[in-house]
Amino acid sequence: MNARSEAVELKTSPSTIDLQLAPLRPFLDDKTLTEFVINGPGEVLTEGPDGWTTHQIPAITQEWCLGQE
């Protein structure tokens, strides 16, 4: 395997931060949102053009919030 193919292989592997942020990816990618907050385990609030919206995200556990997952 040469250096170029290794670089391509690395680019396709998700980083630790990508894996950790996976539950938030839809909010991070949504360009219409101006803000989002984790209100507590399982709950994300987003602010967009229509105001604030509450989302239930079971993957955001107490352990996830504390970085223990």
> What CATH number did the domain enclosing 10 receive?
3.30.450.90
Question: Which residues span the domain enclosing 45?
Answer: 3-65
Instruction: State how many domains the chain has.
Output: 1
User: Would you state the pLDDT for residue 28?
Assistant: 96
Q: Is the pLDDT of residue 3 over 80?
A: no
> 69 or 26: which carries more pLDDT confidence?
26
User: Would you state the pLDDT for residue 12?
Assistant: 73
Q: Is the pLDDT of residue 17 over 70?
A: yes
What stretch of H or E contains 53? strand 51-56
| pLDDT tier, 37 (very low <50, low <70, confident <90, very high otherwise) | very high
- Its pTM stands at 0.72
User: Would you state the pLDDT for residue 14?
Assistant: 80
What stretch of H or E contains 42? none
